[in-house]
Structure 1
Amino acid sequence: MAKRHYDWSSGLAEIEEHSLTKHQVLVDYLVRYFQQRTLNAPGRERFRITLVDGFCGGGLYVLQGSDQLVLGSPLRMMEAVDTAFTLVNANRTKQIELDVQFVFVDKDKHALEHLRKVLGDRGYQHAIGVSIHLLHAEFGVAADEILQRIRRHTPRSGTALFFLDQYGYTEVPAPLIRRIFQTSPNAEIVLTFHVSSFATYTNDEFAQRISATLQIDIFKRLGSRSIEQIKADETDWRRFIQAALYEALVEQCGAAFFTPFFIRGSGAGHGEYWLVHLSQHHRAQDVMKQVHWQHSNHFVHYGGAGLNMLAPHTMGFMQEFDGGFKFDDVARNRSDKELVEQLAVRIFDQPHAVNFSTVFAQTCNGSPATAGMYKDALATLVASGDVMVRSFDGKPRYRARYICDSDQIERARQLKLFLSPAR
C-alpha cells in the first residue's frame, strides 16, 4: 500500500513522474520563499536558513519508462538556492548572501553513498561536512541532531524548511511535527502523504493502528462512526476518510497555517498524494498557494472554492468542478465569485474596521484563494460601493494592486450591490 522504497543497491533507482512534480513544486516554492523573505530588507547582508531533506534518496534517478536521467530533491534544492540568489540580487547594489545549511537524511546507506558520489561528481565534495551534512538514519531518529544543527545555524529564529517526502504515511507522526515547530519557530514543513492507498484499504483495525502510530484521533473526525459505516453511508467515502485523516493530523501538529491539496495521479486524474504545507505565517501559506495555481495541471482538491472549502457539504467530487477543484480557469472563476460574495458577508458582520492581513490570516486555511485573489475580490466590492479599503493614513484604495497588509477594511456606510440590509 505504501510507496515502495527506492533500490540503490545496484545503481540508479527509477523515479515516477509524480515525484518530478513534487520536486518542481519544492524548487518553485524555495525560489519564491527567498524572494519573499528578502523583499523588504534592502540593507540586509545575509540570510541564514537550514534546508532539510528527510528522505533524500541517492541524488540521481532514471525516469520510469525512459532512459532520461533526472536529479533528485537534494540537487534540485541546491539549484533552487542558486536560482534564488541570482534573482534576489538582480537589482541590489550590495549583494545579500544566502547562507544555507543543507541536511540530507536517509535510512538507506546505499542511497547516501550514491548521493555522496553525485555531489562529489558535481564539485561539492569540499562542502560535505561543512555546509552539506549527510545523515544515515531514519528521519525520526535523526530529528534531535537536525534540530541542534538548526539552532547552531540560526540560534534566535530557528529558520528552516523541511522537505519530508516520506515513503507512505506513517514515518512523520504528529508529535514530531509539533516538536519541530516548538524548537524551530520559523520552520516550515512540506510533507507528502500517500492517502489514496490509506483510504482504499483501511478498516477499523488499520485506522486504529495508524491513529496510534501518528498519535492522532481519526475516529473523532469521523463522528465516532466505524469505517464500515462510512463506506456504507457516504457516496464518496474515500474523500470523507481522507478529510478526516487530514483534519486529525492538522489538529495535532501545531501549525497555524496549512494547505491540503493533492498531486493528481495518472489515469483518471484522481488525487493520490497530499502535498501538505505547514507553517506559522500566513505569507508562507500564500506563497505555497501561488505555486499550486502555477502548477494547475498537477493539483486538485475535493472541497469548495470560497472561504469554507473543508466544510462537510463541500467535500467530495463537486459536480461543477467535474471531478475536483483543479486550479484551472473554471476553478478560478468559481473562486472569484464565491470570494466576492463571502467576503461581503464577512465584512458586513464585522463590528469595526479590520486590516487586510487579519482578514486573510483568519480565513486562508479554509480557502484555495491567494492573497492576490482576495485583493481582487475586495476591489470588486469597493467598486460596487459595498466596502471601503483605506490606508493607515486614511487614503482610499480602489485597485487590488495597491491594497497592503495594513490597510483597513470595513463596510460602506451606504450598502449597494452585494451587501443588502435585507439579506
Structure 2
Amino acid sequence: MVKKSYEWKTGAELEEHSRRKHKIVREYFARYLAVRCQLPQRSRFRLAIVDGFAGAGTYNCGASGSPLIFIEELQRATEEFNIRRATEGMSPLDIECLLIFNDFDPTAVELLKERVAPLIAASAETTPRLHLKVEHFSQKFETAYPRIKQLIERGNYRNVIFNLDQCGTSHVEQQTISDICRSFTSAEIFYTFMITSLLAFLQRTDRTQLGRQLRPFGLTENDLVDLDRVLNNKEWLGAAERIVFNTFSRCAAYVSPFSINNPDGWRYWFIHFANNYRARQEYNNVLHDNATMQAHFGRSGLDMLSYDPSHNGALYLFDPPGREDAKQQLHEDIPRMITNFGDAVQVGEFYSSIYNSTPAHTDDVHAVMIENPDLEIVTEQGGERRRPNTIKPGDILRMKRQRSFPSFYSSPDRAR
C-alpha cells in the first residue's frame, strides 16, 4: 500500500491510530530518558533520534507530531532531572541529542524546519543543559539511510532511537531494520505498517509459509481477498500476530507484535524492536498505562503465542481484567519456566528469557514471584525478598524445596 499523502501545507488531519501511537511514543520516550539518566554518577547522556517519516511537525488540530514530541520531552526531562539533582546536591546532567528528521515530501520538510527552529532557539535559552543538533533530509528513507547511519557512527552515538511511522511495508526494508539493530548496541525502533501490505508481500514471496500460518486458525488465502470481513475477528488477530512475529522476530532480540486496537479492526501494527530486555519490560509497562490502545490475542502469561487456536484464546488489551488473567497464568508459567533452568535462575537471566514472549506488566511478574507458594527470591547476600518492589536482577529466583504441587510443574506444557 502506498503511504497516504498528507496535506501538510493546508493542515494534515490527525487520525485516531496516529494519536494513539503518539501518546505511547511520548510516554515511552519519557520513561526511556528517566531510566537511562537515573545513575547519580552520570553527568552526560548522548543519544541520536531518527524520525524517518517526520512530516511537518504539527497537525491541523494543533497537536504535535513526533519530531516536536521528541524535542518537548527532551526539554521537560532535562529541566526536571536537573531541578531534582540540584535539590539533592548532585552534579548536573547534560543531555546531547542528534535529531535527524527525514520526509520524502519537500513541503513537509520546509514546514518542519520553520517549526523546529524556534524550539531549538528557545531551548538554548531556557534549557542550557540540553544540547540539540538537527539534520534535515528530504529523501525516501531507504535512500537516506546510509547517510543517516554514517552521521550517527561519525558522532559515536551508542544510544539510538528510530521512529519509522510508515503505512505500507515497502518504505522500510526488513534488512534495514536488522541492520539498525546489529549496528547499534543500544538501538530501539518504533515501526508502523498496515497488515494488508505485509500480507500482500507474503502472498508474492512466500505463499506456502503464509498458508501454513493461517491454517491453524481456520483461515485460507481466500479469506484475505475479503479481509474487511475478518479484520474484527479475534482469531484473525491471533493469526496476524503470529505472522507479524514470525516475519520480524529475527530483526532484533525483542519484538512486540501488538496491533493498534482500532474500532474498525486490527489493520495497523505498531512494533517496538529492542536489543535489551529492559526496553521491552518498560514498553510493556507503558502499554498497560495506556490500556486498550494495543491488542494481543492468545495467552497473557509467558509463551504468549503458544496456544491452541482450536480452543478459545483471550483478547488482551493491557487492562485490569487482562492483568488478572495474566497473573493466574503466571502462577503456572513461572515455576514451569524455572524448571527449564533446573530449580533456580538469576532474575536478570529469567527476564532475558521471558520478555520476548509475554505482554505482562513487570509489577504482575514480581507479584507472582513473591505470592506463589512454590517460589522464593534470594538476595546476593543470602537473604529473602518479601516485597515485589525490592526484587533486583542479581537476585536468585528458585523453587522451594517443599512444593505445594510437586508433580504439576514436571507435566507437559498445557495450552490455554
1:402 aligns to what? 390
2:37 aligns to what? 38
Trace 1:15-414 onto structure 2 (pairs within 5 A): 15-39=14-38, 41-62=39-60, 68-92=61-85, 93-122=90-119, 124=121, 131-154=133-156, 158-195=158-195, 197-198=196-197, 207-209=202-204, 211=205, 219-220=208-209, 222-223=211-212, 229-231=220-222, 238-239=236-237, 241-253=239-251, 255-267=252-264, 270-313=265-308, 318=313, 321=314, 324-381=315-372, 384=373, 386-414=374-402
> Residues 404 and 228 (structure 1 numbering): CA distance in 2 closer, same or farther, change over 3 Å?
closer
1:394, distance to aligned residue in structure 2 (A): 0.8
Alpha-carbon RMSD: 2.9
1:144, distance to aligned residue in structure 2 (A): 1.0
For the residues of structure 1 that align with 2:189 and 2:12, how far apart are their CA atoms? 25
> Residues 315 and 144 (structure 1 numbering): CA distance in 2 closer, same or farther, change over 3 Å?
farther
For the residues of structure 2 that align with 1:177 and 1:29, how far apart are their CA atoms? 20
1:261, distance to aligned residue in structure 2 (A): 1.3
1:84, distance to aligned residue in structure 2 (A): 1.9
1:396, distance to aligned residue in structure 2 (A): 1.0
For the residues of structure 1 that align with 2:293 and 2:307, how far apart are their CA atoms? 24
Moved more, 170-179 or 222-231: 222-231
> Residues 87 and 258 (structure 1 numbering): CA distance in 2 closer, same or farther, change over 3 Å?
farther
1:214 aligns to what? none
For the residues of structure 2 that align with 1:288 and 1:225, how far apart are their CA atoms? 28
1:121, distance to aligned residue in structure 2 (A): 4.7
1:304, distance to aligned residue in structure 2 (A): 1.4
> Residues 222 and 416 (structure 1 numbering): CA distance in 2 closer, same or farther, change over 3 Å?
same
For the residues of structure 1 that align with 2:4 and 2:162, how far apart are their CA atoms? 21
> Residues 33 and 327 (structure 1 numbering): CA distance in 2 closer, same or farther, change over 3 Å?
same
- With the length of structure 2 as denominator, give the TM-score of the two structures: 0.85
> Residues 160 and 302 (structure 1 numbering): CA distance in 2 closer, same or farther, change over 3 Å?
same
What amino acid sits opposite 1:83 in the alignment? R
For the residues of structure 2 that align with 1:415 and 1:26, how far apart are their CA atoms? 43
Secondary structure of 1:88's counterpart equals helix
CA deviation digits over 1:198-243, x for unaligned, max 9? 47xx56xx5343x4xxxxx574364287998355699867435523
For the residues of structure 2 that align with 1:315 and 1:74, how far apart are their CA atoms? 44
> Residues 390 and 6 (structure 1 numbering): CA distance in 2 closer, same or farther, change over 3 Å?
same
Secondary structure of 1:176's counterpart equals helix
Q: Percent identity?
A: 26
For the residues of structure 1 that align with 2:410 and 2:119, how far apart are their CA atoms? 68
What amino acid sits opposite 2:387 in the alignment? R
Q: Runs ≥4 in structure 1, deviation > 6 angstroms?
A: 224-228, 232-237
> Residues 370 and 364 (structure 1 numbering): CA distance in 2 closer, same or farther, change over 3 Å?
same
Where in structure 1 are there 5+ consecutive unaligned residues?
63-67, 212-216
For the residues of structure 2 that align with 1:61 and 1:395, how far apart are their CA atoms? 55
- Structure 1 contact 150–184 (Cα < 8 Å) conserved: no
For the residues of structure 1 that align with 2:207 and 2:268, how far apart are their CA atoms? 18
For the residues of structure 2 that align with 1:275 and 1:303, how far apart are their CA atoms? 18
For the residues of structure 2 that align with 1:54 and 1:80, how far apart are their CA atoms? 18
Aligned length: 392
1:185, distance to aligned residue in structure 2 (A): 1.8
- Structure 1 contact 302–316 (Cα < 8 Å) conserved: no
- With the length of structure 1 as denominator, give the TM-score of the two structures: 0.84
> Residues 259 and 97 (structure 1 numbering): CA distance in 2 closer, same or farther, change over 3 Å?
same
Where in structure 2 are there 5+ consecutive unaligned residues?
125-131, 225-229, 412-416
CA deviation digits over 1:83-137, x for unaligned, max 9? 222333343221111111100011110110111122235454999xx70111111
For the residues of structure 2 that align with 1:120 and 1:421, how far apart are their CA atoms? 60
> Residues 284 and 228 (structure 1 numbering): CA distance in 2 closer, same or farther, change over 3 Å?
closer
- Structure 2 contact 45–95 (Cα < 8 Å) conserved: yes
What amino acid sits opposite 1:87 in the alignment? E
